[in-house]
Amino acid sequence: MTQQVLTILGSTGSIGESTLDVAARHPDKFRIFALAGHKQVNKLAAQCERFKPCFAVVADAEHAAALEQLLESADCQTEVLYGGQALIEVASASEVTGVMAAIVGAAGLPSALAAAKNGKTIYLANKETLVVSGALFMETARANGAKVLPVDSEHNAVYQVLPQDYSGRLNVHGIQSIILTASGGPFLDTDLSTFDHITPAQAVKHPNWSMGQKISVDSATMMNKGLELIEAHWLFNCPPDKLEVVIHPQSVIHSMVRYLDGSVLAQMGNPDMRTPIAYCLGLPERIESGVGALDFGKLSVLTFREPDLNRFPCLKLAYDAMHAGGGASCVLNAANEEAVAAFLAGKIRFTDIARIVAHCLEQGFSDGLNDIDSLLAQDAQTRAQARQGITALSR
């Protein structure tokens, strides 16, 4: 394997740190070109000292000055850049072979799209990119020879059990459906009558996975699985009616593909994102990830059940948005991001998240949004509507 030169967007987050953990195990295979860490300058400074990237990117001039000071006192030569254009530059630079897209939210879209335009191998953790701009992103990647490798554990699992020559057409390969597994999050069995009183601290406490705050709340509402349905739709060119969701609280089977002959192929492992990350980074080889072996002696049961759409209205809203197509999933995502942020800030109740998303979807959306400017305009319009709804609810 020739040495990969990596840009890690969102290096200070949960996925970013796991990526650096895997890369550090294979210094011969990976060199870090750039790290982007938004406002987390202390963590980013420590990463720069350790991995010595050429560039580090932060949110704005103020954070750039703070990072420069830290790097100077550590005698670290990394050059500091800031702003959205800098994210695009480090994702596009000619030296870079692979880009880990691990910024959270639609904020990660322009830089991921830049990597696609420049034919990079994209390790895609940022599912919101596909939810907001699936058609545009996949077409841009295809037209520019960029490879899109799914980091999200479910999609990575599907990728691993699809035929190696998968053409993007299920029937050509005798595939009946793609089955995404879901843990069901922390409130799978919580009394529904108490949902109004769920606190942010309870919602971010996922039973199996350790993740960033936004995706943890998404897992608790099951919006995460909804976003993942849309993600799978675009990644695998899978029609909505060929996508299944099954709740599997142990998070050992990460997803499955159902074939016409009755076979179901699954990928299993401990719930640790370093496995799908190492799979993507190592391709075509398998490389060591630091994840412990799955111990069947300690696995007592694997259970499965149907998702309850009354308990998880966000999942239903995502299904509806996927079927509606057009700008619906862009609206779904923007409304959800605003609602989750408001919930985490203590402004609205847990159950209000679905209300805000439904309210925004009811406002309607443009059809055929397929360029970044109109997608970002829809995103901005929806966020304004969501904030109005949040203000009304928090009174």
Q: Report the interface residues with ligand NAD, using CB under 6 A.
A: 10-16, 37-38, 40, 102-104, 107, 125-128, 152, 209, 211-215, 273
Which of ligand NAD, Mg ion, none is residue 98 near (CB under 5 to 8 Å by kind)? none
19 is in an annotated binding site: no
The answer to whether 206 is a known ligand-binding residue is: yes
114 token code pair: 């830049």
Residue type, 102: A
CB atoms inside a 10 Å sphere around CB 250: 16
Which option in Mg ion, ligand NAD, none does residue 212 bind, with CB closer than 5 to 8 A by kind? ligand NAD
Q: Choose between 102 and 141: whose C-beta lies nearer to ligand NAD.
A: 102
Strands of the sheet containing 264-268, edge to edge, are: 243-247, 175-182, 253-259, 264-268
At its nearest, how many Å lie between Mg ion and the CB of residue 154? 5
Q: For residue 84, say whether it is annotated as part of any ligand binding site.
A: no
Helix H or strand E segment including 77: none
HEC letters along 259-317? ECCCCEEEEECCCCCHHHHHHHHHCCCCCCCCCCCCCHHHCCCCCCECCCCCCCHHHHH
Contact partner, 67, from ligand NAD, Mg ion, none, Cβ < 5-8 Å per class:
none
Residue 127 contact, options ligand NAD, Mg ion, none, Cβ 5-8 Å cut-off depending on partner type? ligand NAD
Residue closer to Mg ion (CB basis): 218 or 338: 218
Taking the complex as a whole, how short is the minimal distance between the CB of residue 258 and ligand NAD, in angstroms? 23
Nearest approach in angstroms of CB 169 to ligand NAD is 26
Question: Is 127 labelled a binding residue?
Answer: yes
Is 133 annotated among the ligand-binding residues?
A: no
Neighbours of 383 (CB within 10 A): 18
Smallest distance from Mg ion to CB 225, Å: 8
Confirm or deny that 289 is annotated as ligand binding.
Answer: no
By a kind-dependent CB cut-off of 5 to 8 A, residue 211 interacts, out of Mg ion, ligand NAD, none, with: ligand NAD
* Nearest-angstrom CA–CA distance, 213 and 203: 9
CB-side exposure of 20: number of CA atoms within 13 Å?
27
- Annotation-wise, does 152 bind a ligand? yes
Among residues 211, 243, 192, the alpha carbon closest in space to that of 340 is found at 211
Distance set, CA 213 to CA 67, 141, 201 (Å): 24, 29, 10
Q: Residue 300 annotated as binding?
A: no
128 binds, among Mg ion, ligand NAD, none (CB under 5 to 8 A by kind): ligand NAD
Contact positions toward Mg ion, by CB under 5 A?
Answer: 152-154
Q: Tell me phi and psi for residue 254, to 5 degrees.
A: -90, -15
**Residue 153 annotated as part of some ligand binding site:** yes
Residue 175 CB, shortest distance to ligand NAD, in Å, is 23
Minimum CB separation of residue 8 from ligand NAD in Å reads 9
Q: 122 and 146 in contact (C-beta within 8 Å)?
A: yes
Q: Do the beta carbons of residue 45 and residue 65 sit within 8 Å? A: no
- Closest-approach residue to ligand NAD (CB): 13
Residue 208 interacts with, from ligand NAD, Mg ion, none (CB under 5-8 Å by kind): none
Residue type, position 146, single letter: A
Task: Measure CA of the first residue to CA of the last residue in the chain; give whole Å.
Answer: 58
Tally of residues, the chain: 395
219 in a known ligand binding site = yes
Among Mg ion, ligand NAD, none, the one that 352 touches (CB under a kind-dependent 5 to 8 A) is none
Q: Is 270 left (phi over 0), alpha (psi -120 to 50) or beta?
A: beta
Q: At what angle do helices 223-235 and 127-143 cross, to 10 degrees?
A: 10
- Shorter beta-carbon distance to ligand NAD: residue 216 or 385: 216
Binding residues for 1-deoxy-D-xylulose 5-phosphate: 127, 153-154, 183, 206, 219, 224-225, 228
Binding residues for NADPH: 12-15, 39, 126, 128, 212
Binding residues: 12-15, 39, 126-128, 152-154, 183, 206, 212, 219, 224-225, 228
